[in-house]
């Protein structure tokens, strides 16, 4: 019986080869990719876009609230498991306030987000920041609901 199991294992592992492999880490459920093929690199970027999510801020604040901290912990865990991915962190604001003030606040939001990730073990060299202030709203409405979507640190993975 043991001999049959060894032969079956050898046959299954030796049959067919692919240029890119995907394996699932059973503890975290996350997929790990062999980055030698372009298809797997594209798949990894797609996964990064799904897993590394934006965080949101209160009006006139760059402080991380508990929901943002929880999301950043998830982002850090994923980034630490996938060291070939880097990210641009964009700081955004709602339309209220002067352009100069919003540019500074957007920069503080991006830097606060980056600092959290660095403290969580993500290499600073993998993270860049930029502020767009109020210039690139996610929602162009003029309501609190729209503004709350615009007060964010947005991740662009690469």
Is residue 28 included in any domain, yes or no?
A: no
Is residue 73 included in any domain, yes or no?
A: yes
Is residue 22 included in any domain, yes or no?
A: no
Residue 108 is predicted with a pLDDT of: 98
Residue 24 is predicted with a pLDDT of: 38
Q: Which residue has the higher pLDDT, 59 or 24?
A: 59
Find the DSSP H helices in 16-126. 38-51, 66-81, 99-119
pLDDT at residue 31 tops 90:
no
Q: What is the CATH number of the domain that holds 127?
A: 3.30.1330.60
Structural domain count of the chain: 1
Q: Which residue has the higher pLDDT, 72 or 28?
A: 72
Averaged pLDDT for residues 120-129: 98
pLDDT at residue 154 tops 60:
yes
Residue 103 is predicted with a pLDDT of: 98
pTM for this entry: 0.74
**Nearest-10 Cα torsion for 29, 31, 32, 34:** 160
Is residue 74 included in any domain, yes or no?
A: yes
Residue 97 is predicted with a pLDDT of: 95
Residue 40 is predicted with a pLDDT of: 86
Note whether 151 and 131 are within 8 A (CB): no
The residue segments making up the domain with residue 130 are 56-158
| pLDDT tens string 51-66 | 999 999 999 999 999 9
Percent of the chain as helix, strand, coil, to the nearest 5:
45, 15, 35
pLDDT bucket at 37, cuts 50 / 70 / 90 = low
Q: How far apart are CA 109 and CA 103, in angstroms?
A: 10
Is residue 66 included in any domain, yes or no?
A: yes
């Amino acid at each position: 019986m043991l001999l049959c199991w060894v032969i079956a294992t050898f046959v299954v592992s030796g049959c067919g080869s692919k240029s890119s492999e995907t394996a699932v880490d059973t503890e975290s459920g996350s997929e790990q990719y062999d980055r030698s093929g372009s298809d797997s690199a594209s798949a990894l970027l797609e996964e990064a876009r799904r897993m590394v999510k934006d965080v949101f801020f209160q009006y006139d604040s760059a402080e991380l609230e508990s929901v943002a901290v929880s999301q950043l912990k998830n982002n850090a865990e994923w980034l630490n498991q996938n060291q070939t991915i880097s990210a641009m962190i964009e700081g955004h604001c709602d339309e209220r306030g002067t352009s100069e003030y919003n540019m500074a606040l957007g920069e503080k939001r991006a830097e606060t987000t980056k600092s959290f990730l660095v403290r969580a073990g993500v290499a600073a060299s993998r993270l860049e920041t930029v502020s767009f202030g109020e210039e690139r709203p996610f929602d162009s409405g003029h309501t609190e609901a729209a503004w709350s979507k615009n007060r964010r640190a947005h991740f662009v993975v690469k």
